Every structure is written in C-alpha cells, then in structure tokens.
Amino acid sequence: MKRTLAGSLLLLTAVAGCGADPAQDASGSKELEIVYRVEPTWPHLEKMLNGAKKQYEAAHAGVKVKLTAIQGNNEAYYTKLALLNRSPDSAPDLYFHDTFQVNADVAAGKLAPLDDYLAKWPDWSTQFPDSVKQAAKGGDGKIYGVPVSTDTRGLWYQKDVFAKAGLPVPWEPKNWNDVLTAARTIKQKLPGVVPFSMYSTKIHGEASTMQGFEMLLYGTPGGTLYDDTQKKWLAGGKNFTDALTFVNTIYREELGPKQADAHNAKLYDKMAFEWFPAAKLGISLDGAWAMSPWKPTGTKPWAQWTEKIGWTAMPTQNGEPPGAVSMSGGWVMAMSAYTKNKQEAFDFITVATNKENSMTYSVGTGDLAPRKDVAADPKYSADNPSVKFFTDLAAVTHYRPAYEAYPKVSAQIQEAMEAVTTGAQTPEEATAAYVKALPAAVGGPDKVLAR
C-alpha cells in the first residue's frame, strides 16, 4: 500500500451523521461518528481506533462512538469524504485526514479550529514537536488537526540483488546518475528483476506526486512548486522538466515496472509482498513505512527483511548540498465544523492520540511517531532498525505547499507524470501542458510565476 499513509472506509448509506443534529439512542446518549480509511493489508488504524473507542466509552458514559470505515485507496477515500462533507446531515464528527487536504477543507469551512482546546491539553505543549504541529496549520495560523503520524521518504534496496549484480552494499548514491547507473547494472546483470520501482501514474494519486515527482523536484537546485516570497505557483521551468526527465529515463530504458504494473493500484503490494522478498526488485523509492508488512506483527511477516533489505537517502540531482532530499507529510485527526459535540469530539482526539494508542499505530504502520514519548520508548524501534535512519531524514526534508489549490496542482502533476510514463509526451511536452493547465488549477494567471 502507498500513502503520503494507510487504510479506507464504507461510505455512509442512509444514516445521517452526527453533525447538525446529534444522534441519540433511547437513553439519550450522544453519538460521535469517526470516519477513517482501512484496507485489508493495512489494519493498523482500525486497531488503534477500536482501542480508543473502548477507552473513551469507558470514561464517557453518556457518549457512544461509531466507527465508520471507508474501503479503497487514498483517492477513493478523499472522494467519499468530500461527498460526506457536502452536508451537515452526513458529515462525521471527526475524521482521519491527509495533511495536504487540510487547507482546502479549511477554506471551504469544513473544519473546526482546535486552538482553544489544545491550549488546555498538556500533551500538546509537551509531547508534540513544533515541526509536527505545522502539519495541520491553516493559512490563518490556526491548528485544524492533531497528528496521528508523520513520515519521510527514501530508497529501499535488496541486498541479494545488489550482490548478484556486483553493486556495493551498503549503497550510498551521491546523485541521480548513481541511482540510474545502479538500475542499469541490475537490468544488464539480472534479467527478470525489476531494477527500480516508483509511483508515477494517476491511479496512485498523491503517492505519485509526493513519493515520485516531488522527491525529484525538491532535489534539484532551487526546486520547488511554490514561491513563498511572491506567494505564487511556479510554472514549470528546468527543474520541473529535469524531474520528468528522470521518470522518462526509467520507463524509456525499461528500468522500472512494466506499464501494467505502473498502472496497477496494487503496485505497493507487489513490491512488499512479492518482489522484494523474492529478490525480484532492486530499488524502490518509497516511504519510511514500506517495511511494515514484514514485521512479526505485519500482514506479510518476513523474518529476514532486516538482513536482506537496505535503506539509503535519495540524493540530490548532482550531489548539491545537503546531498540528500526527503519529503514529509502525514495524517491528522480532524474535527468537523458541523459537529454539535465539539468538546466530546476533542476528548476523543486526545484519547486516540495518547501515548498508548499512538504507540499501537506507529509500531504497526512503521510511520514515524509524532509524539516525543513514543519516539523515546524502546518498544517503538524494537523490531524496526530502519526507524532511526528515516527519523534522521527530517534534517533534509521538505513539505508540500499545502495551500487550498494544492490538490488541483497535484492532479496536474499526475497528468504530466503519467504522460511521460506511457511515452505519450516528452518531458518538455508534459511540462508545457502543466504550464498551460496551472492557471486554472490555482485560480488565475495572477497566481502563477513564469519560469
């Protein structure tokens, strides 16, 4: 499974949400509805929420918690959640939310600010680092969610594949050419092995944008999507084309997955469940959580993974300082602006994100812990030797320009990536198409800076 994080839910049927008119049973109990994502191969969030439900209901006799799961990939979840939030009658009280979607919902008036509640919750000031708190900050400076996870991204590689191809272990590429050279060597020496895997098509949504394109773009000199000084979106440019050129090289030289796999929504499952364990994949550009199925508590335990798999940073384009690049995002528990039970809803957030439940989630998923006390606990890293490395990548990480227009910008990036992946457009043509589409995506040409 892939993310910028984990899981998906059943769309509400005829039952109205708890927004404008809180549901009550015969005893007069209030009901809180929490909407979240779940996938068969990613049960960790559901496990954490079920634990939080039991703890919360035991301490809040007058409130019942309804957990509503949406099944499907990330994009299916975003679509169904948007439908629920169109009306106070169907909106849930709380929901699991990807950080890049937060500002769009803030602008639409769908989310409630949490600052007044957070000021009275000691954990917020003592256990959540300032960098993590920024994940759900709106353009107005207010906080609209409590982090459930954070993350970084890098390169995973199969040591047996590298040894058979005559490549060094440990592997520490210094630039993009080193990455491509390793992939070319694997192709030449080991037919039948996928040299390099990355997300690059529309079916993978934000994973293609963030784990694919932005890991490249932000590794180019001055590469970014948004100029914070002039507050404008950047229209293409050499950095943009260079990132697409890397993608083009992967697919034109047949260094990546076959086209059918590149367009397969289950590409992550192939990587984690089939290719890496069977030494049929050399390198994967993915997130800190990529190893989670292999742990003893995972969905596909693989006892040898700590011996067979290595991890290293994605280098900058030509080795420019700081030499490596990463992207960070994560998920938050957000409160609907429509809920009439705001205090009860916030109380559930504090239970769901306490140390115990955060530990359950972070250990299960392999995501980086947003809480200091979880990160410091030996149980957090006991069966995951990669966690310190991916945590340390925070020193070179970047964040998406998560403004209201970002989801539409991301969609245009996915169009460009897929066109290059299939060979329908050259990197230059795909860049030109992006530049043409950008003004409409961000609200007009006055919000665009030409490159």
Question: Mean pLDDT across the stretch 354-376?
Answer: 94
Q: Which pLDDT belongs to residue 2?
A: 40
Task: Write down all domains in the chain, each with its CATH number in brackets.
Answer: 30-151+329-370 (3.40.190.10), 153-328 (3.40.190.10)
Residues 419, 412: Cα–Cα separation, whole Å: 11
Per-residue pLDDT tens over the stretch 240-280: 999 999 999 999 999 999 999 999 999 999 999 999 999 99
Q: Is the pTM of this model over 0.85?
A: yes
Condensed to tens digits (0 to 9), the pLDDT of residues 188-238 reads 999 999 999 999 999 999 999 999 999 999 999 999 999 989 999 999 999
Confidence class of residue 27 from pLDDT cuts 50, 70 and 90? Answer: low
Amino acid, single-letter form, for residue 284: S
How many angstroms separate the CA atoms of 217 and 176, rounded? 12
Give the highest mean pLDDT range of 13-17, 41-45, 349-353. Answer: 349-353
Could you give the CA distance from residue 220 to residue 367 in angstroms, rounded to a whole number? Answer: 26
Mean pLDDT along residues 137-151: 93
**pLDDT tens for residues 299-334?**
899 999 999 999 999 999 999 999 999 999 999 999
Average pLDDT, the chain: 92
Check whether 44 has a pLDDT greater than 90.
Answer: no
